[in-house]
Structure 1
Amino acid sequence: MSELRVSRVAEQMKKELGDIISKKIKDPRIGFVTVTDVSVTGDLQQAKIYISILGDEEKKQDTLIGLAKAKGFVRSEIGKRIRLRKTPEITFEIDEALEYGNRIENLLRDLNEDTR
């Protein structure tokens, strides 16, 4: 399958997921969630949704549990919004890239202050 189609499906899913999670899911365990990336396999059968969650570690785990419980609903909503023969199976993962980038930035700032 063409890489262009896979990337277009991933982008469309990312857009729709942001809307679904913020407006349609009413689970109180789910906090402030941002969809940072969607990775779809070449055959469009699997999709990994990378999310960033505002809050402490406990809030992140609660949000992941809430999203896991709502996975079927989210998948059916995506199926209604995106025209695909088969809606991909979805998994949610916390995107550690933002925290990693902030940590590196803080380390560099500390090093820069120490050299002055």
Structure 2
Amino acid sequence: MSNPRVRRIADRIKVVVAQMLERRIKDPRLGFVTVTDVRVSGDAQQATIFYTVLGAGEATDGGAADQAATAAALESAKGLLRSEVAKQLGMRHAPTLEFVHDALPETARHLDEVLARAKAQDEAVAASRGTTYAGEEDPYKKPRPGELDDLDDRGGLDDRDGLGGLDGLDRLD
């Protein structure tokens, strides 16, 4: 759906269907529906409308019953919705509408639960971990008090002449 025209059609279909479901469709089977996305084919002949139903995400039988009733209500209202979409868009051929329950909220909820479990396990591991270091307290090597004097005697860091440790050959006159 990289075509900007198709994207505009999809956005307009989303608005029209949402308004129709809110204002004109009075089916008692219709739950609290949210239109999450609309995808239109490249030739604008088919539109897939993704929706969620508030309260249908639970694993209870009531949630599944709400979802099934809403799906039936959307199927029965498909003709009215398609005619209103055609009227609002002003297109010669109205796209066929297909309603698909969006599983994204359930997937996001499941991921949140998995992340919460992982965080709890990390906190349990952190709590069981000791407070002592595995190695030395300060793992960085530092020179011992007499090591700098040894380096000066070996010709390493001799800075007595103030020239930054340069020997006689590299001295600037």
Unaligned runs of 5+ residues in structure 2 are 56-62, 124-173
CA spacing shift, 1:85–1:2, aligned 2, 3 Å: farther
Question: Which residue number in structure 2 is paired with residue 32 of structure 1?
Answer: 32
Q: Which amino acid aligns with 2:90?
A: R
**TM-score if structure 2 supplies the norm length?**
0.65
Alignment deviations for residues 38-71 of structure 1 (CA, whole Å, 9 cap, x no partner)? 0100001100000011121110010000100110
User: Which residues of structure 1 form unaligned runs of 5+?
Assistant: none
SS in 2 for 1:58: helix
Give the structure, 1 or 2, with the largest relative contact order (CA under 8 Å, sep 6 or more): 1
User: If the length of structure 1 is used for normalisation, what is the TM-score?
Assistant: 0.95
State the partner residue of 1:96: 103
Select the structure that is richer in strand.
1
Matches within 5 A, 1:1-116: 3-55=3-55, 56-116=63-123
RMSD after superposition? 1.3
Deviation at 1:2, TM superposition (A): 7.0
When you count helix as a share of all residues, which structure comes out higher? 1
How many residues of Structure 1 are paired with residues of Structure 2 in the alignment? 116
Deviation beyond 2 Å, 4+ runs, structure 1: none
Question: In percent, how many aligned pairs have the same letter?
Answer: 38
The 1-side partners of 2:92 and 2:42 are apart by 14
Larger displacement relative to structure 2 (73-82 or 27-36) = 73-82
For the pair shown, which has the larger CA radius of gyration, 1 or 2? 2
